[in-house]
Structure 1
Amino acid sequence: MTSIDNNSLQRVSMLSLSVVIVLYLAHALPLYFYNVALPAILRHQGVDLRWIGMLSLLYIPWAFKFFWAPLIDRIYIKKLGKRKTWLLFTQIALVLGVLVLAFTQFSYGLTVFVVVGLWISTFAATQDIAIDGYTVETFSESEYRLGSMAQSIGVALGSMLGGAVTLWLYQYYGWETALICLAAMTALTMFAIFQIKEKTDEHIAKQPPSLIRAFKRPEILWALALIFSYRIVEAPAMAMLSPMLIDQKWSLAQIGVLMSVLGAGVGLLAAISAAFLLKKVEATQLLIWAGWSRTVLYGLLGLAILLGWLNHWHVLLGVFVIAFLAIRYIAMTSLYAYFMQNSSKQQAGTDFTILVCFELLIYFIGGASSGFLAKALGYGQFYIVLTIASFISILLSIVIIKLSKKHISTTGNIGKNA
């Protein structure tokens, strides 16, 4: 009997893990179209770096979705389920948005393009609230590393399909075909929603979910400080990779394969490795290790550009990009495991969303400024400046982690499940 129960639990756990992977894939598809494919397409058409950097502003809904996160935790159709209600609604809206983008193209002007982009971004952000809440509610605290790994795997697959495949389709078949295929891929992920097994009764909040309750908890405040210190440097470095590849005469197909096939494959391995390491070390410790690796890599890339190595060894830039992505996925898996540890199950969507929103806000600010900095300094000096900034960032992050542990151990883990 015990063996049967254990096998049943294992199957449920694997099903939950698979569902979470597909759900994160669903919202990553349009996200990585904008993040990977579109910057390369625009740079290929000769668009200025400053405008490409400003694409990050389309993600403003992601930075402010915490304002409506309590509503997603609170309002739903009981017959459908707390998370399934919003997942179905937002998925339909995403498919429609991508189809509209496919048929409007660029010929309808910048206004239509921006409005549709904000539509897609808003519903993808809202969907992410429900996915994050479902993940925190589904996994036990000891399994958070697996939930974080599933999230990273879903994002990596979304990068591969939304980035590389869409770029390849655009280059050989044009905008309309590429976007229709993206909409079809997004629609297919909807099948995972019907496999959700919610545990709504276990996580009914004693009080209505609210932002005030979240910000009263010291764990959330310390996490926000760590996010600011750690992520402010990473965004500019990542935002300029695609434009730099174009300027180094890489084709769109090559960039797609590099960043969203090889990169996603490395990302999958990095996420699985990070989940394994998180069984042995704390999430914050792994995050710091990734931060030091990031700092060294920025410095090496800056020197390689200034010394002209990239002109002699064309493939060297690709090696740097793959290393960047591997470190990023390790850091992302560690950071999201840390977010889950600090989110209350009573308002999981709200707490996790606050942390993700602040992370994205910092990331988008850095991304929006990256084009201006790279154009003013040149790529080489740009990455040297980021090396120094990253060194300071990691030192500050270490101080924040030590202070947060000291404070929480002194005051007690108050309100974790409040």
Structure 2
Amino acid sequence: MRGKYAVIGSLYLTQGLPFGLAMIAMPAILRQAGHPVESLGIFALVMLPWAFKLLWGPLVDNHGLARFGHRRSWIVPLQVATAAGFAALAHLPPESTPIVGFAAALVLINLLCATQDIATDGYAVEQLAREQHAFGNSLQIGGFCLGMLLGGSGVLIVVEHLGWAAAMAGLGIVTGLLTLPVLLRSEGVATPPPGGERAEPKRASLRALLRRPGIWVLLAVAGLFKAGSAGGEALLHPYLVDAGYGLDVVGMISGTALIGLGTVFAFLGGAVTTRLGAERTLVTFVALSALGMGALAILAAIGQTDLPQFLPALLLENISINIAYVAAFVLFMRWSSKEQAGTDFTAFQCVEAIGNIVAIGVATHLAGQLGYGAAFAFTALAGLAVALFLRTVLTESAARRLDVIPEASATGE
């Protein structure tokens, strides 16, 4: 049991490293170097592999080395390649490397991690029983947040004191260490049905997913639940830099005050989701996240950047969206077929990433044209609208009509 959870947590932590580097560290570093805030939206491109990995999801589901482990035969080489990617970045100094070069390198590394995620998602769906979904997804969200903390805030602090090369070498070493749990644990083989041979597995396909009843509503839930928060969070670090804070202070704020506490609450989100039910938890905490973003909009509009006034709003937004994330991923896991676990779970995550890319592009454009206050306000209103939509489509009666809760009530685990 513990070995299974160690594999899941370590692999999702790895995925957060390049994502945090791209979305937290690089915008702050490059903004300090004088790049206009509008240009920082290019780092939203790192979401493209996460948005389109469903295109090769069936490949990962359908092919693998059974002797080594279907999922492990994908995960281990991808982990090694990711570590090598960080080592290569150590030779690209920020002072002389074009912003497009960094964006391209980080898209490639995120491509490796996004493909690893397909195999890891399949492993999690196959290995976890229904009653383990909430804790398993707490590990997923918490591990990813911790990876973002190390790859984003941790890199900012290390760059400030030890330099870029040391920070990238550190990420490569961490990635290597996080590969050990999956190397040390056998993947295991599914038990055949009593009195019969193991059934020939069906080949995974996107067509099978898209033919399911109510799938377009479920995909809309996936694409919208995080969009408002993603747009606002993309503005946070450039806003703090423009307010006069140094990279180390920005790193400490986003790390200790936001991602660190967000990680803790992501783990607690499993307990909240179990108690309230995934649907009710998702609606409630998406709405609370939007309220936090609304408070940020008011503070930005009046030019208030003092941390004692700013931090409570940041904490409300970040803690709420991390709990909402756990609830959303429990639903994604529940809605994924065991017959093509990696493909289905990946599809929900891809649609989420597409929604986030659009939201970040809109928010950064609004910030450049109308200012941070207007952009934060837009993301807050978008979040409240999404919460109302979720409340409508995730009621128990609606969920039963969509045939997505065959085993238990929509309001409980």
Q: TM-score w.r.t. structure 1 length?
A: 0.90
Is 1:213 the counterpart of 2:208 in the alignment?
yes
Counterpart of 2:239 (choices 223, 238, 244) is 244
Partner of 1:5: none
Instruction: Give the corresponding residue for 1:9.
Output: none
Show CA shifts across 1:274-318 (max 9, x none): 11122222211101110221222222222222234x25x343223
In structure 2, the partner of 1:7 is none
1:269-418 equivalence runs, <5 A:
269-308=264-303, 310-311=304-305, 313-402=306-395, 404-408=398-402
CA distance in 1: counterparts of 2:157 and 2:34, whole angstroms: 19
- 1:6-405 equivalences under 5 Å are 13-106=1-94, 107-110=96-99, 112-202=101-191, 206-218=201-213, 220-308=215-303, 310-311=304-305, 313-402=306-395, 404-405=398-399
Q: Which moved more, 1:83-92 or 1:201-210?
A: 201-210
- CA shift in 2, pair 1:297/1:216, >3 Å: same
Cα offsets for 1:10-51 (capped at 9, x unmatched): xxx222112211111112112211121111111111111111
Say if 1:53 and 1:369, in contact at 8 Å, map to a contact too.
no
Mapped contact 2:227–2:355 kept (Cα < 8 A): yes
- Which structure's residues are more often helix, by fraction? 1
Say if 1:54 and 1:367, in contact at 8 Å, map to a contact too: no
| Worse overlay, 188-197 or 107-116 | 107-116
Closer, same or farther in 2 for the Cα pair 1:410/1:166, shift >3 Å?
closer
Distance 1:77 1:246, change over 3 A: same
Which deviates the most, 207-216 or 347-356?
207-216
The worse-fitting range, judged by mean Cα deviation, of 196-205 and 291-300 is 196-205
- Which ranges in structure 2 are unaligned for 5 or more consecutive residues? 193-198, 408-413
Distance of 2:214 and 2:81 partners within structure 1: 34
Counterpart Cα distance in 2 of 1:378 and 1:231: 22
In 2, the alpha carbon distance for the partners of 1:199 and 1:219 equals 33
Alpha carbons 1:55, 1:368 under 8 Å: kept: no
Q: How far apart are the structure 2 equivalents of 1:266 and 1:86?
A: 32
Rounded to whole Å, the distance in 2 between the matches of 1:172 and 1:184 is 19
Shift of 1:148: 0.5
* 8 Å Cα contact 2:45-2:103 kept in structure 1: no
Instruction: Check 1:406–1:374 CA distance in 2 against 1; reply closer, same or farther (3 A cut).
Output: same
Q: Look up the match of 1:10.
A: none
Comparing 28-37 with 222-231, greater Cα deviation is found at 222-231
SS at structure 2 position matched to 1:322: helix
Distance (Å, rounded) in 1 between the aligned partners of 2:287 and 2:349? 22
Shift of 1:205: 6.0
| Runs of 4+ more than 6 Å apart | 410-413
Q: Counterparts of 1:233 and 1:359 in 2: how far apart (Å)?
A: 12
**How many angstroms apart in 2 are the aligned matches of 1:237 and 1:217?**
33
Residues paired across the two proteins, number:
399
Which digits, 9 at most, give the CA deviation of each residue in 1:74-103, with x for residues without a partner? 111122101100111111111111111111
Superposition deviation, residue 201 in structure 1: 3.0
**How has the CA–CA distance of structure 1 residues 111 and 251 changed in structure 2, closer, same or farther, with 3 Å as cutoff?**
closer
State the AA in 2 paired with 1:401.
Answer: L
Q: Is contact 1:84-1:196 (8 Å) kept?
A: no
- Of 129-138 and 102-111, more deviation after overlay is shown by 102-111
Deviates more, 1:292-301 or 1:356-365: 292-301
Task: Kindly state the Cα deviation for residue 198 of structure 1 after the two structures are TM-superposed.
Answer: 2.1
Deviation at 1:167, TM superposition (A): 1.0
Write the distance in 1 (CA, Å) between the matches of 2:146 and 2:53: 24
Secondary structure in structure 2 of the residue aligned to 1:218: coil
The answer for unaligned runs of 5 or more in structure 1 is 1-12, 414-418
Q: Would the aligned equivalents of 2:289 and 2:318 in 1 still touch at CA under 8 Å?
A: no
1:251–1:315 Cα change, 3 Å: farther
Which one-letter code corresponds to 2:29 in the other structure?
I
Given residue 59 of structure 1, which amino acid in structure 2 is its aligned partner? M
CA contact (8 A) 2:57 2:343 kept: yes
The one-letter amino acid paired with 2:248 is: A
**Distance in 2 (alpha carbons) for counterparts of 1:109 and 1:388:** 35
Alpha-carbon RMSD: 2.1
The residue type equivalent to 1:270 in the other structure is: F
- Identical-pair percentage: 27
Partner Cα distance (1:236, 1:320) in 2: 16
